[in-house]
Structure 1
Amino acid sequence: MSARWLDDERWGESEQRLRRKKHKPQGRRRLSDLTAAEGEDSGDDIIRRLTDLGHLSEVVAELKSGKEATAYVARGPRGSVLVKIYRDLEARSFKNDSVYREGQVILDQRAKKAMEGRTRRGLAMLQTDWVLAEYAHLWALWRAGLAVPEPLAGPYPVDYAETVPAVLMRLIGTEDEVAPRLSDARLTPEQAASAWSQALGGMADLLRLGYVHGDYSTYNLLWWEDTVTIIDFPQLTTRQNPNFQSLLRRDAESLATSFRKHGLSVSGDQTLREVQRRALGPAPTPRVMLP
């Protein structure tokens, strides 16, 4: 069974940051609060910390605000960066993550009690765990060769834990033309057929590794240079979750439904069968991580 090691060292920094916050939960951050004039420090403590750590040099634009986080385009020493900053748990419209968390084993009983009781310490742990889960999944999928954005902090948890509540990944597209979601892209019939095949392949690659995405549709697939990239992984779950099969079926239905905009008419059952068939095939070539 999968386990989350909730030790004091892992959560200490998050708790300290939580105690320093004002009582009002932090929701969407305005772009003006994240940027600074030349020679000045950003007024936002997260951006200032990411800058001090050497991950960022400048926040360029707000890209998209969702129910859990807001995405920004930024620049860093390795080029264009997508910065995904999660809102405080109390400020999110999506809060019920229990269906994705079932099957996890929390070894620290005090931590488990705090998280279940949603105390201040428990909320800090849930917030941190949600962010670290996305990083861990990104690194696992990137290394396995799947079509996902390259994570830009890590690969060790001690490194990417320093960026909480932000997740840093390589920007898909360019600063002037960021890759659109498939739900927003205009595709020719040939491109739609290719995107559908790639989307099926991506879902099959996840299944082969024992994962289900949990929110798989054209809203969480990017389209750039005729290539599909999978995004949004904090809710990714494994076969240890008793809801695995129902989430897998739901993903197949969501994918089929969301592709109707592009002229494809396939049922969720047909989609699921094709994904299961492809999952029996060869896996992508793993990426080589240079020291």
Structure 2
Amino acid sequence: MSARWLDDELDNEDPRPERRRTSKTRKPLGRRLATLTADPDDGEADDTICRLTDLGHIHEVVAELKSGKEATAYVARGPRGSVLLKLYRDLEARSFKRDGVYREGQVILDERAARAMAGRTRRGLEMLQAGWVQAEYAHLWRLWQAGLSVPEPLVGPSPYDYAQTTPAVLMRLIGSEDHPAPRLSEAALAPDQARDAWGQAVQGMADLLRLGYAHGDYSTYNLLWWENRVTIIDVPQLTTRHNPNFADLLRRDAESLSTSFRRHGLSQSGEATLREVQRRALGPGPAPRVQLP
């Protein structure tokens, strides 16, 4: 597979800053906060928010944090404190164009389901949507339990529980309600902080690789910076070595990370970054939070 082909497949989510700056795609708007916080008695409240409230996962949505192509992030409150509510877009607003490169190598035993997803029927889109949400939860739980620096998932770990939240993913908010953690791409870092953040980011990629994963979109745009700690986010597209694109995605992650760190005054080639990630992946990982099977 050529690097050019992979670039074309992922052009909507290219993490390289020079590609993002030149994009002319109009940024889609998320669901209006007024709708998400409407009084259910008025019949205007969002169905997903009503369901999450009825299930006891959240009490209220307090602010919109960031709107992207695939989902909108909100700050909410729940029984365990501040929540990051990631609400994926309505099916009609999502193309699922970039999903294919990440899903290669997966086996779908239900032939009718496979045809529906390939044909992008309404039922197929619903299954793709549910699969994307459940993959994010499953990956978050795996990484959290393994001790990696990711947001704590707040529903699960049983798939039965988190399947009920589609099209939403709930995780612990990094930062505070008044000051959510910024993306590393937006953080102002002193030189020593930049070097520390670089080391943590490379180690995070190595820890993913040690578990057999490539992130698929690893850059400062998908890393948070809070209290001098890097946190990995946006994990639904994680791929394993079963994916024939694994090596290309891993190399792309290394290139994206090195490119996006240049604004912090650090210059490292993608190939050198990849070699360092592979070297670190051979070493010990973080202490697991939960004993893994």
Give SS of 1:237's match.
coil
1:153/1:160 contact within 8 Å kept: yes
Give SS of 2:87's match.
strand
Partner of 2:31: 29
Query: Per-residue CA shift, 1:34-90, capped at 9, x if unaligned?
Result: 013598786100000000000000100000001100000000000000000000243
Tell me whether 1:71 sits opposite 2:34 in the alignment.
Answer: no
Taking structure 1 as reference, are residues 235 and 38 closer, same or farther at Cα in structure 2, changes over 3 Å only? closer
Alignment of 1:117-266 (within 5 A): 117-266=119-268
1:89/1:95 contact within 8 Å kept: no
Q: Give 5+ residue unaligned stretches, structure 2.
A: 1-27
Q: Distance in 1 between matches of 2:131 and 2:154?
A: 18
Aligned length, in residue pairs: 264
Residue type of the partner of 1:209?
L
Partner of 1:13: none
Percent identity (aligned):
76
Partner of 2:107: 105
1:27/1:87 contact within 8 Å kept: no
Give the drift of 1:97: 1.0
2:218/2:253 contact within 8 Å kept: yes
Q: Distance in 2 between matches of 1:169 and 1:204?
A: 23
Q: Distance in 2 between matches of 1:151 and 1:286?
A: 15
Give SS of 2:202's match.
helix
Query: Per-residue CA shift, 1:228-270, capped at 9, x if unaligned?
Result: 0000011100000000000000000000000000000000001
1:60/1:73 contact within 8 Å kept: yes
Give SS of 2:164's match.
helix
Give the drift of 1:283: 1.1
1:182/1:218 contact within 8 Å kept: yes
Query: Per-residue CA shift, 1:188-220, capped at 9, x if unaligned?
Result: 000000000000000000000000000000000
Residue type of the partner of 1:131?
V
Partner of 2:21: none
Q: Distance in 2 between matches of 1:159 and 1:27?
A: 28
Q: Distance in 2 between matches of 1:273 and 1:89?
A: 39
1:252/1:269 contact within 8 Å kept: yes
Q: Give 5+ residue unaligned stretches, structure 1.
A: 1-25
1:213/1:233 contact within 8 Å kept: yes
| TM-score normalised by structure 1 residue count | 0.88
2:207/2:285 contact within 8 Å kept: yes
Q: Distance in 2 between matches of 1:58 and 1:39?
A: 15
2:39/2:45 contact within 8 Å kept: no
| TM-score normalised by structure 2 residue count | 0.87
Give SS of 1:121's match.
helix
Give the drift of 1:180: 0.1
2:29/2:67 contact within 8 Å kept: no
What RMSD over aligned residues (CA atoms) do the two structures have, in Å?
1.7
Q: Distance in 2 between matches of 1:85 and 1:142?
A: 21
Give SS of 1:212's match.
coil
* Alignment equivalent of 1:84, drawn from 83, 86, 106: 86
Give the drift of 1:287: 0.3
1:145/1:287 contact within 8 Å kept: yes
Query: Per-residue CA shift, 1:160-203, capped at 9, x if unaligned?
Result: 00000000000000000000000000000000000000000000
Q: Distance in 2 between matches of 1:261 and 1:57?
A: 39
